[in-house]
Amino acid sequence: MLDKVFSYDIEKFSKELLEAIANDQVIFRDGVAYWKKGLEHVGIIQHIPLKEVSSVGVETFVQGLGSLQSTLQTTIVAAQAISTATLMVAMVIQTQILSKKIEAVKQCVLKVSQDIIEQNILFYTDKASEYLALLQTFKLLLDNRTPLTDVNQLANNTLSSSIQLKNHLISFIGNLLNLVQTQKISSQQHVELIMQFIQQMMEILPIGMHLEFILSHRLNQNEFSQVLIENSHSQYLGLFSQYRNYLNEINNGLKEFRIKQDQVPFFEKIRLPAKNLFQYSIHVELLEKPAKERITYIKSQTDSKEF
């Protein structure tokens, strides 16, 4: 899969921004550099220019987003000082990487709904399909060529629906993991489909959650957007820990011969993508960092509220 990789156009950074970065006084959010909360300065430092640096062969969705950290390391600015979330969003909006991922998840959802004919499962696979459709709408709304003032009602409705569906899916995925862990699902084929579905959703949820956050921010819901990203981070971190711990238990059990391979036939199919998910930790940039960041907005932005 060939897609673009973006980086910040460092040559166009102002002297003020470079000094602020050197002094760890900057928060990057949605293509804009802000002063951190608690400083003498408040508000926007500079709108950040991006540039396309390459088109690369990307094997997986997570690898494509994870590659952005190494892209930053080639710049003159310390990589740890700059968030890659803006670059990930640019890649998602301006390329086909998200659309391709959505299609892959759709196929996985379809297999689950076709093979596991249970009312509860079908209800939530329908919710998953609705959520995936909303992610395409997010991509459209967040394209800079679309002024949100022209589609304000659609933007607010999309955000509201996405939050509700996300909450359904978080609960569903957690329940599915519990069922698999406690061996409540007898069919190994069904377990395999469910684990592949969980893996796919774990990959795409951080992007969906961050897009919610960015859309809310662009709608000037600054207080709510901060609460939203904090809640999303908490939700995802709980699932992430549960998922990683379960797979680590299986991996250790296989190494110690306490578990036989035929007891967990699904493991080999998700082992590598799960390893990439844990290794690249895209949720750190997309959820954890913005959940901890605080900005003081000037009056023209949000009536001087601090978040």
Which pLDDT does position 70 carry in this prediction? 56
Whether 305 maps to a domain, the answer reads no
At 18-46, the pLDDT tens digits run 999 989 899 988 889 999 988 988 899 99
Last residue of a domain, one of 77, 93, 109: 93
Same domain for 169 and 63: no
Quick check: is 306 in a domain? Answer: no
Nearest to 170 by CA among 133, 204, 119: 204
- Final residue before a domain boundary, out of 93, 108, 130: 93
Residues in the chain: 307
Domain that holds residue 89: 2-93
Query: What pLDDT was estimated at residue 3?
Result: 56
Distance separating alpha carbons of residues 29 and 35, to the nearest angstrom: 11
For residue 127, tell me if it sits in a domain.
yes
Q: How many domains does the chain have?
A: 2
Regarding whether 145 and 77 lie in a shared domain, the answer is no
The confidence score (pLDDT) of residue 2 equals 46
CA-CA distance, 146 to 289, in Å (whole number)? Answer: 27
Q: What is the pLDDT of residue 182?
A: 93
190 and 286: one domain? yes
Spatial separation of the C-alpha atoms in residues 181 and 167, rounded to whole Å: 21
> Using one digit for the tens of pLDDT, what is the confidence trace for 223-244?
999 999 999 999 999 999 999 9
How confident is the model at residue 89, as a pLDDT?
85
Which of 216, 218, 198, 213 has its CA nearest to residue 289?
A: 213
Same domain assignment for residues 99 and 88: no
Instruction: Please report where in the chains the tokens 């601090």 appear, as a residue.
Output: 306
Q: Both 108 and 46 in a single domain? A: no
For residues 47 and 113, state if they share a domain. Answer: no
Q: Which run of H or of E encompasses 75?
A: none
- Answer yes or no: do 87 and 114 share one domain: no
Q: Would residue 164 count as lying in a domain? A: yes
Is 229 inside any structural domain?
yes
Decide which of 93, 113, 145 is a domain's last residue: 93
Q: Which pLDDT does position 301 carry in this prediction?
A: 47
Nearest to 282 by CA among 63, 103, 101: 63
Write out the DSSP string of 98-153.
HHHHHHHHHHHHHHHHHH---HHHHHHHHHHHHHHHHHHHHHHHTSTTS-GGGSHH
Residues 103 and 187 in one domain: yes
pTM for the full model? 0.88
Cβ neighbors of 84 (< 8 A, separation 6 or more) are 68, 69, 72, 285
Q: What's the sign of the alpha-carbon dihedral 13, 15, 18, 20? A: negative
Indicate whether 123 and 75 sit together in one domain: no
Residues 272 and 129 in one domain: yes
83 and 129 assigned to the same domain: no
Q: Are residues 119 and 258 in the same domain?
A: yes
Query: Which positions of the chain have pLDDT values less than 50?
Result: 1-2, 75-80, 301-307
